[in-house]
Amino acid sequence: MTDTLVLIRRCLDSLRNSEKKVAKCVLGDPGAVITSSITELAEKAGTSEPTVIRFCRKLGLGGYMELRLNLARDLPSAQYIFENVSASDSLAGIAGKILTAHREAISNTLNRLDLDGLEAAVKALQSARRIEFYGLGGSAIVARDAHHKFFRLGIPCVAYDDPHMQVMSAALLSSEDVAVVISHTGSTKDIIDSAKVARNSGATVIGILGSENAPLLKFCEIALSVHSQEAALRLAPMTSRLVQLAIVDVLFVTVAMKDFNVTKERLDRVKRSLVDKRY
């Protein structure tokens, strides 16, 4: 299997000038490409997203994600499980690195949280006729957690983790509704399609994203960025998922506190309904 960087060097002469700009960016810092969205690479190269895709196809790749995966495979320093964790680490060392990363991600998000965006999201959720939560893969877990919380407030809501169900339901939304789209990469085609359909239907689209410069941002009226150093190509989302869950908790509690007396009564009814479910 040909090394990706070797393949790029071989193809340089056959590339258009705009595609050569992308090639030079990749060759100059391949490690950064692994953690960058297609939008970020295009801006760094001074080109466009379609140019990046054409460049990938000139290499015989299916798209930008395959380029990133191949680079992660080829670079000797690439970590596939978790940042800075190596096979030689002890159990205590692994636990320390993971929990420290979680703590730093929460702290970074708190320090950089867009309070105006958060307030706008709270107002939209509080007044929504209906809320739909969309997530795929690891983010689907966060979407389901959001639904598990918000339905207790008496607001009709649902979580969809199937892209077909997402777009069908999004097509039926209106200006009175809110769609919350959750994606660490912000570049998954299906979730972008769902956000686009929801936006075209008139719904307010709130994005919980892992990047401040992701393609999904174009279709989000309100964007809340989490700040995790976790690369998008990990085998399973860890730090990013934790921060996404924290943002959902902030939204839920703030919405609940806006009308505390009504919320208290509803939550009490929910708790009482569970009495007979326990010994």
User: What are the pLDDT digits (tens) for 160-190?
Assistant: 999 999 999 999 999 999 999 999 888 889 9
Residue environment code for 138-151, b if the CB has 16+ CB neighbours within 10 A, otherwise e: bbbbbbebbbebbe
Q: How far apart are CA 157 and CA 159, in angstroms?
A: 7
Instruction: Give the per-residue pLDDT at 25.
Output: 92
For a pLDDT cut of 70, what percent of the chain falls above it?
91
Q: How sure is the predictor about 258, in pLDDT bands with cuts at 50, 70 and 90?
A: confident
Q: Say if strands 204-209 and 131-135 run parallel, antiparallel, or are unpaired.
A: unpaired
Distance CA 276, CA 279 (A): 8
Query: Stretch 135-151: mean pLDDT, rounded?
Result: 94
Residue 74, pLDDT score: 79
CA–CA gap between residue 57 and residue 37 (Å, rounded): 17
Which of the two residues, 241 and 223, has the higher pLDDT score? Answer: 223
Domain 95-277 in CATH 3.40.50.10490? The answer is yes
pLDDT for residue 84 = 66
CATH code for 4-74? 1.10.10.10
pLDDT digits (tens, 9 = 90+) for 4-22: 888 898 888 899 999 999 9
Please give the model's pTM, rounded to 2 decimal places.
0.74
Average pLDDT for 67-76: 80
Ranges of each domain in the chain: 4-74, 95-277
CA distance linking residue 262 with residue 71, whole number of Å: 53
Query: Confidence class of residue 230 from pLDDT cuts 50, 70 and 90?
Result: low
